[in-house]
Amino acid sequence: MEEVLYFNELYDLYNGLLTDKQREYFEDYYFNNLSFSEMAENYEVSRNAIFKQIHIVTDKLKEYESILKLHEKRKKLEEIVKNIDNSELKIALEELI
């Protein structure tokens, strides 16, 4: 479950770098909660092909994070913002999250 949340957060940051097809697979599986079997039927491919594609997409997301570290930086910024009292500054920083 924790991994699902993590992938969702990575997807939020990096989905623009994926192909349309990769976004479709990811959203079907992680957002729409379709099973591999259901997706295999919809896309008319084997369950194994779906399984592989989902892995390719999550590997891509992890690769982007290992290069750009946007998730790590976002978490740090959120932590910093949480402890700020000045509301004007807080809002300005929140816009960057």
In the shown chain, the binding pattern of residues 32 to 71 toward its own copies, with x for contact by CB under 8 A and - for none, equals: --------------------------------x--xx-x-
- Beta carbon nearer to its own copies, 1 or 96: 96
Cβ-proximal residues to 26 (8 Å cutoff; 6+ apart), any chain:
7, 11, 15, 18, 54, 57, 58
Min dist. Cβ of residue 25 to its own copies (A): 19
- Beta carbon nearer to its own copies, 29 or 64: 64
Residue from 17, 35, 45, 52 in contact with its own copies (CB under 8 A): 17
Helix (H, G, I), strand (E, B), or coil: what is residue 33? Answer: coil
Which H or E element spans position 9?
helix 2-14
Would you give the DSSP letter of residue 95?
A: T
